[in-house]
Amino acid sequence: MKIALGISIFFCAAVSLHAETSVEIDLQQQKAYLLDNGRPVLASPISSGRYGHLTRTGSFKVLEKERTHYSSMYGKIVDASGNTIVADADAEMPVPSGGKFIPAPMHYFMRFDGADGMHAGYLPGYPASHGCVRMPQQLAIAFFNSVTAGTPVTVFGRTPVDRYSGQSQSGFLRRPRFGPPMGPRFAPPPPFPWWR
């Protein structure tokens, strides 16, 4: 009995060591997928880098994770009374007397390329970040809890040229990597309830 139990525990441990978690980010569809051994187990809407700050495509790995992270480059500038005077500021912009630069929160940050990473953030429905991949907070938490340093991240696709990723420049059907086909004859899926 003890030998059988020991073999079972060893077998389960060996299987779990071979299970590989990975992330795929589809810029065209504005979706991120958490994969377990190549099979999607979770999908999230995203807002990737806008033109001028595009999210780079390629193969990466999660470099680090930080639950409570703030940008060192981007945020907002407020006056002495705390009123926002520049909502999309960078750290090098002049700050008025008595005002201050407030770094943007990037909680549940998973860095994968230079300063860029996945994190909880605002999703307007189109690419709007400075290169990071924003997700709704609940999904960012789920991804954060599932990946470790070294988890493979693949970014592919072309950032949509139109303002809203749900629209297409062409009338041709496009098939996302996972899920049903999308196109002018197919209604997009309803947004998640926590999509802001």
Q: Is residue 80 a part of any domain in this protein?
A: yes
> How high is the pLDDT of residue 188?
41
Q: Are residues 77 and 132 in the same domain?
A: no
Helix (H, G, I), strand (E, B) or coil at 154: strand
Can you read off the two tokens belonging to residue 80?
């002495």
Q: Is residue 195 a part of any domain in this protein?
A: no
* Distances from the Cα of 37 to the Cα of 5, 21, 41, 45, 97, angstroms: 26, 6, 10, 21, 54
Q: Are residues 135 and 60 in the same domain?
A: yes
> Are the C-beta atoms of 142 and 31 separated by less than 8 Å?
no
Residue pLDDT, tens place only, 79-104: 999 999 888 888 888 998 999 988 88
Q: Are residues 138 and 75 in the same domain?
A: no
> How high is the pLDDT of residue 161?
78
Q: Is residue 25 a part of any domain in this protein?
A: yes
Q: Are residues 156 and 78 in the same domain?
A: no
> How high is the pLDDT of residue 19?
63
Stretches where the chain sits below pLDDT 70 are 1-19, 162-196
> How high is the pLDDT of residue 140?
97
What is the overall mean pLDDT for the chain?
80
Q: Residue 102: beta bridge partners? A: 76
Classify the C-alpha dihedral 59-65-67-70 as positive or negative: negative
Q: Are residues 78 and 132 in the same domain?
A: no
**DSSP state letter for 136:** -
For residue 96, give its domain range: 70-105
Q: Is residue 143 a part of any domain in this protein?
A: yes
Task: Give the total number of structural domains in the chain.
Answer: 2
> How high is the pLDDT of residue 105?
81
